[in-house]
Amino acid sequence: MGEKKMPFPYEFKELEPEEKMMLLKAYKASELMPRFDLVSVGPKKFKLLRPFCEEAADIYNMALRSDDIFVVTYPRSGTTWTQELVWLVANDFDYATAKSKVLMQRFPFVEFLKYVGSQWQEELLPNAKDKEMASEFLKNVNKPVKEKLSAIPSPRFLKTHMPLSLLPPKLLDTAKVVYVARDPRDVSVSNFHLNRLINIFDFPGTFKDYWSLFSQHLVKISPHFEHVKEAWNLRHHPNMLFLFYEDSIKDLPSSIRRVADFLGKDITEDQVTSLCDHLNFENFKKNDAVNFEYIKGLGVFTQEEDFIRRGKAGGWREYFDEEMTQQADQWIANNLRDTDLRFPKL
Ligand code: A3P
C-alpha cells in the first residue's frame, strides 16, 4: 500500500481560553469576530484568520512553475517596495507598464481573498463610493486561490505573507523566492497603522495594546520571529534571496544589484540610478500604480491613513515607552537565542 497523501500536514487548533480573553479585551468585544478570530496552525503556532484556513491546503499544494518569482514577507516588512523592485528588474525596466498597470495586477497577492472574506461583504459595500467597482473587486478577491493562480500567465510574480512552512514544500526547488525581513518593532508599528487603515480590521486600542498582542503572537501571521527564521535558515539556497528592509533603506543600489544578480540580469549603473529614483519613498508614495490609493474609493481603506506611510527604519522609538523598550529588548534577545539571525543596526 502506498503512503496516504496528506493534503495539508498541519493541525488547526483553537486558541487557549486565556488567549481568546486577551483578544476580546484588546478588541473591546464580547465575542470573537471575523477580523480577529484566529486559529493556530502547526507546531510553530502560526495564527491565521479562521476563513483563511479553508484555503490553506490549496496554497500548500499550489501548482508551481519553474519561472515563478515570489516575494515572501511578514506583513509590513517592505513587501510592496520589494515587489516593484523585483518586477522592474525582471521585466527589463518596463516603466510604461509599471505605471499603467497597478502592482496588484502585475504581482498578485496569493491569499488576499481570505483577508477580506465573503462574510465581510456587507461591511465593505455600504462604505464604497463606487459600488460597481467595489463588488467587482470583492468578486475577484473571493475567487478560490487555485482558480486565481492558474489563470495568471507565465512568468508569474506572486506576493505572499505565508511563512515558508505553509507554502509548497518544493517551492525553493522549483521557483525563486525573495524574502524580506524587518525589525519586529517597526513591523508592529506599521501593522498597527495598517489595522487602522483597513476598515474591516478596525483595531480600537492604543499602540501599547497592539504591541501586547503582537509580542504574544496574537495577531495574524505571527509569530514574527518564526516566520523570519524559517527563511533565514534557508538563505543559502540558490533560489532564495534574503533581504533586510533596513539594508534597502541604507543602501538601495546594493539591494537592486543583489536582486539583479539573483535573477541573472546584467544591469547598468544608469539603470540602478533610475530605479532608485522610481523607488524613492516620496515618488513611491505619489505613484498610484503602487500606493493602493484607488482602494480608498472601494470602502476597504479609511481616509485617515496611507498604505505607503512613513518609510523609515527605527521609527518605533517614537511609540515605545521605557518599559516597552526594555520588554522588547528582552523579547528580541529571547527570540534570537537559538539563531545567528541579527537585524542590521542603523
Ligand atoms: P511604515 O508603515 O513603517 O512606513 P508592506 O509593503 O510589506 O506592507 O510594507 C509597508 C512598509 O514599507 C510601510 O512602512 C511603508 O511605508 C514602507 N514602504 C513602502 N514603500 C517604501 C519605499 N519606497 N521606501 C521605504 N519604505 C517604503
Q: What is the per-residue pLDDT across 231-258, written as a single tens digit (0 to 9) for each?
A: 999 999 999 999 999 999 999 999 999 9
Q: How far is the CA of 6 from the centre of ligand 1 (A)?
A: 37
Most ligand 1 atoms within 8 A of CB, residue of 81, 201, 295 to mutate: 81
Q: What angle do CA 247, 171, 246 make, to 5 degrees?
A: 10
Ligand 1 contact, 252 CB (< 6 A): no
DSSP 73: E
Return the pLDDT at 116. 62
Ligand 1 contact, 190 CB (< 6 A): yes
- Reading the block at residue 215, the C-alpha cell is 509580542
Q: Are the C-beta atoms of 247 and 344 separated by less than 8 Å? A: yes
Distance in angstroms (rounded) separating the CA atoms of residues 275 and 277: 5
**ipTM of the complex, rounded to two decimals:** 0.99
Can you tell me which atom of ligand 1 is nearest the CA of 249? 25
Q: Are the C-beta atoms of 148 and 104 separated by less than 8 Å? A: no
Q: Report helix, strand or coil for 198.
A: strand
Residue identified by cell 524559517 is 230
> Sheet holding 240-244: strands in order across?
157-160, 69-73, 176-181, 240-244
Distance in angstroms (rounded) separating the CA atoms of residues 260 and 93: 11
Q: How far is the CA of 210 from the centre of ligand 1 (A)?
A: 19
Q: How far is the CA of 245 from the centre of ligand 1 (A)?
A: 9
Distance in angstroms (rounded) separating the CA atoms of residues 273 and 276: 5
Q: How far is the CA of 251 from the centre of ligand 1 (A)?
A: 15
Letter for the amino acid at 321?
D
- Reading the block at residue 288, the C-alpha cell is 498610484
Can you tell me which atom of ligand 1 is nearest the CA of 190? 2
Task: Identify the residue whose C-alpha is closest to ligand 1 atom 14.
Answer: 311
CA-closest candidate to residue 57, choices 9, 129, 17: 9
Ligand 1 contact, 310 CB (< 6 A): yes
Q: How far apart are the first and last CA of the chain?
A: 57
Ligand 1 contact, 82 CB (< 6 A): no
Return the pLDDT at 101. 95
Ligand 1 contact, 276 CB (< 6 A): no
Strand partners for 39: 14, 48
Ligand 1 contact, 188 CB (< 6 A): no
Measured in degrees and rounded to the nearest 5, phi and psi for residue 100 equal: -95, -20
Mean pLDDT per 10-residue section of the chain, whose length is 346 residues: 63 97 96 92 95 89 97 98 98 98 94 66 74 79 87 97 97 98 98 88 92 97 98 98 98 98 98 98 97 81 88 97 98 97 92
Return the pLDDT at 113. 60
Ligand 1 contact, 193 CB (< 6 A): yes
Measured in degrees and rounded to the nearest 5, phi and psi for residue 168 equal: -55, 135
Ligand 1 contact, 80 CB (< 6 A): yes
Q: How far is the CA of 79 from the centre of ligand 1 (A)?
A: 7
- The DSSP secondary structure of 182-210, one letter per residue, reads --HHHHHHHHHHHHHHBTTT---S-HHHH
Return the pLDDT at 129. 79
CA-closest candidate to residue 239, choices 180, 178, 181: 178
Q: How far is the CA of 203 from the centre of ligand 1 (A)?
A: 20
